[in-house]
Amino acid sequence: MRPGNTLLLLLLAFSSALLPLASPTSIPDFRPFYPRRPLPPIDPLIVPFCNKTDHPSVCINSARYFSHEFPSVDATNMFNIMARALKDRIRFTQRRALAMSNNQKFSASVRGSINECAALYGNALDDLSTAMVGFVTRDKGTFEAKLNSVIAALKACDKAFMGNPNPLLKEDERLTKMTSNSITIGNLSF
């Protein structure tokens, strides 16, 4: 084998080690969310907060994974729990989108749309971080505007498919509900 080929193979091996989910041979992960984690018990303290949201079961089923990371469940920490869960799930969905964007079972046009969504999830993560800063600095305007930008990014993902079925639709709908819940819970402490 010529040295050039060896270098190319090394580069390929290196890049696929760095991007295991984005490699063309990887199979998209269609297992349920948090596949390896056992379902944690529901802290009863999260329930009255979640009951105030438009999507209580989505609220409970996202908060239950993270409430134990906080010393107490008050209105402030409840928002932190929601934001933590939302960030985690946007990241998860972005990784899934990157894997899907290499899956040949989708047309080139749909793969392009999936790629657009992956970028939009990146924007959503930035907006979420800014909203969290707004929450901490008691800047209600920034808090609300940036969480609404997250919802707008999720809508833009759906639009990117231009009428083709959106394979990320279920995830986007869930993320939208989680963001809406985060706005409701966050507003409890303003």
- For ligand NAG, the binding residues (CB under 6 A) are 47-48, 51
Cβ 93 to ligand NAG, closest distance in Å?
A: 28
Q: State the DSSP H helix or E strand holding residue 187, giving kind and residue range, or none if neither.
A: helix 169-187
* Pair of tokens at residue 185: 């819970």
Cβ 183 to ligand NAG, closest distance in Å?
A: 19
C-beta closer to ligand NAG: residue 42 or 152: 42
Residue number closest to ligand NAG, CB atom: 51
C-beta closer to ligand NAG: residue 51 or 137: 51
Cβ 83 to ligand NAG, closest distance in Å?
A: 22
Closest CA to 136 of 56, 93, 77, 64: 77
Cβ 53 to ligand NAG, closest distance in Å?
A: 11
Helix intervals (H) in 66-107:
75-100
Between CA 168 and CA 178 the distance in angstroms is 15
C-beta closer to ligand NAG: residue 59 or 151: 59
The vertex-140 CA angle with 138 and 146, nearest 5°, equals: 115
C-beta closer to ligand NAG: residue 113 or 181: 181
Where do we find the tokens 């920490």?
A: 77
